[in-house]
Each structure stands twice: as structure tokens, then as C-alpha cells.
Amino acid sequence: MFDWIETFVGDTGYLGIALLMLLENVFPPIPSELIMPLAGFAAARGELGLAGVVAAGTVGSVAGALVWYFAGRWLGEDRLKRLAARHGRWLTVAPHEIDAATRWFRRHCGQAVLIGRLVPTVRTLISVPAGIAAMPLPRFLAFSAIGTGLWSALLAAAGYLLGARYGAVAAWLDPVTSAVLAALAVLYLYRVVTFRPRPDP
């Protein structure tokens, strides 16, 4: 995997970094925890510029986030509530809970997107509720770009500073990502088991 990414980035440069980060957000075949540190290492070797690496990673990641944002816009609050009325247990949400969650997200959408873009796994998922809540696109882009820029810069800088040991970044973040996924899975199962539908008020 490392060799393939290294060859691909070496052959395609900034465009390749942006493409990999876009794909990582749409359907994560290769995590950013591998892509950006390796790109930072390429910058340390003088093959790319560190600022360009961060910019390419940010642009690609935000482009990928837009895919899920517009998927959320297409789904919409009303359609989601109809789905919840029919399949609430498996969605682990009732229609009235969607109203409450949407109101909360609209009050805190900026902070939610900004922080969410800094958390493994959540950084992709956060785009969907932003779309469902119809968060204004310029606001979504601004907070996504800030959060993604910070994430990309941290990973690229780690690869730049660690040099050939950039794989240590992925090795350190892998348990964090696994812990987030496990916590989400446990929360989902808990909600399925304890779900008690009740009529909307």
C-alpha cells in the first residue's frame, strides 16, 4: 500500500494528492492518515512543496465532503422523517428526534463541522447532517476548509518531520480510528436494542 501511494504521488504530484483525498472522503479505500504523511515526506525530499501538499489535500478532501453534503441535501429532513417512520429501529431514530437533532445542528453547525473534520471517521460522516439541515453552502465550505486544512497540515507536517518514518503516523492513528469505529458500532447496537418508538406529538 505504501509503495503504491508513493509511486502514485510521485507520478501525479499535487493532482494525485487531491484525487486520493477526494476518494478517501467519498469511499475511503486509502485513509488520509497514509496519504498526507507520505505527501509530507515527499515534500521533505524536495519533490513537492509543503504548502502545495497541504493545499492539494485540503481541496481534494473538501471536494469529497461536498459529495456527502449534497447527498444529505437530496435526502432532506422530510424524506428522512418518512424513512424514520417506517424503519426507525434500524435507523435508530424517530421522526420527532430528527426535528430535535436538526434544530441542534442548525444552532451549532459551524462548530460541529469544524470539529467533526478533525475526528477520524466522523470527518466524512459530518457532511451528511450538514446537508440534511440545509447548512448554507458557503458556511459549510468555510468550516470544512478550515477543519480539513488543519487536519491535512498536521498529517503532512508529521510526515515532513518524521521523514522515512512517516508510517509511524498511521500506526499511531490506527488505534484511534478503530476506537472511534468501535464506539460508533456499540452506540448503534445500543440504540437498536433499546429503541422504543412512540407517536410524534
* Rounded distance between C-alpha atoms, residue 15 and residue 79, angstroms: 37
pLDDT at 86: 72
% of the chain exceeding 90 in pLDDT: 26
43 located within any domain:
yes
pLDDT over 70 at 184, yes or no: no
116 located within any domain:
yes
Print the domain residue range for 59.
2-194
CA distances from 24 to 58, 98, 142 (A): 12, 28, 20
104 located within any domain:
yes
199 located within any domain:
no
H helix intervals, the chain: 2-26, 32-44, 50-91, 95-116, 122-125, 127-132, 137-162, 167-194
% of the chain exceeding 70 in pLDDT: 75
Nearest to 129 by CA among 140, 141, 121, 145: 140
pTM, rounded to two decimals: 0.75
If you average pLDDT over every residue of the chain, what do you get? 80
Q: Number of folded domains in the chain?
A: 1
- Across 191-196, average pLDDT: 66
61 located within any domain:
yes
For the ranges 15-24, 30-39, 171-180, the lowest mean pLDDT is seen at 171-180
pLDDT over 70 at 174, yes or no: no
200 located within any domain:
no
132 located within any domain:
yes
